[in-house]
Amino acid sequence: MPEAKVAIELTVNGRRVRAEVEARMLLVEFIREAIDLPGTHIGCDTSFCGACTVLLNGRSAKSCTLFAVQADGGELLTVEGLASEGGLHPLQQAFAAHHGLQCGFCTPGMLLSSLQLLQKHSDPDEQQIRKAIAGNCCRCTGYQNIFRAIAAAAKMMKPNESEV
Ligand code: FES
Ligand code: FES
C-alpha cells in the first residue's frame, strides 16, 4: 500500500516551498530530490561526515539525521542560498582565495557550519573554528587552509574590513 503523504511548507533560501512528502523521507533527500538543490551532499550513512549540513532555523543540522516533516514551518538555508546578486558570500570567496577546498565534496557543509560560527562569533579564535567544524569531515585539505579561510572570512564580514 502506498505510504500516505504529509503536506509541509517551509522557507528554503528565502523562498516559500510547499510539498507533499512521505513521512519517512529524509530532509537531505527532500533537499536534493524533491526541490532539486543538489549542493547539499551525502557522504555517509552514519551521520558522521557533515557533507549534508544545512542551517535549519539558523542552527546547523545534519540533514541526513532529520525527516523532511521535521522542517515543516521552518527556515532552511542550503549552500545554494549563500551567494547573492552581489556575488559569492565572503565565506565562499575566502575558501576560494585560501584554497580551503580541493574536491569540494565537503565544502557545502563546511560553509554552513562556518556561517553559523561567524553569526555567533565575529572574531573566532582557532579553537572556536576547530570546534565549529568538528562535525565536518574533509578527506583532502588537511584542514589548515579551511581554518585560514574561515578566519579570513571573519575579517571580511567585519564592518570596514574587507581583506581576503
Ligand atoms: S551524509 Fe554524512 S553526516 Fe549526513
Ligand atoms: S575538499 Fe575534498 S573532502 Fe574536503
| Domain range list for the chain | 5-81, 90-157
Cα–Cα distance list, 74 to 64, 77, 94, 129 (Å): 16, 10, 29, 26
Q: Which triple of cell numbers denotes residue 9?
A: 511548507
Task: Please state, rounded to an integer, the average pLDDT across all residues of the chain.
Answer: 95
Residues within 6 Å of ligand 2 by CB: 101-106, 138-141
**pLDDT tens column, 36-84:** 999 999 999 799 999 999 999 999 999 999 999 999 999 999 999 999 9
Whole-angstrom distance, CA of residue 1 vs CA of residue 7: 19
pLDDT at 17: 98
CATH number of 90-157: 1.10.150.120
pLDDT at 80: 98
Assigned superfamily of 5-81: Beta-grasp domain (3.10.20.30)
Cα 89 to averaged position of ligand 1 atoms, centre (Å): 23
Residues 6+ apart with CB under 8 A from 16: 9, 10
Cα 152 to averaged position of ligand 1 atoms, centre (Å): 26
pLDDT band for position 164 (cuts 50, 70, 90): low
Whole-angstrom distance, CA of residue 35 vs CA of residue 39: 11
pLDDT at 162: 57
Q: Reply yes or no on whether the pLDDT at 163 is more than 70.
A: no
Cα 17 to averaged position of ligand 1 atoms, centre (Å): 23
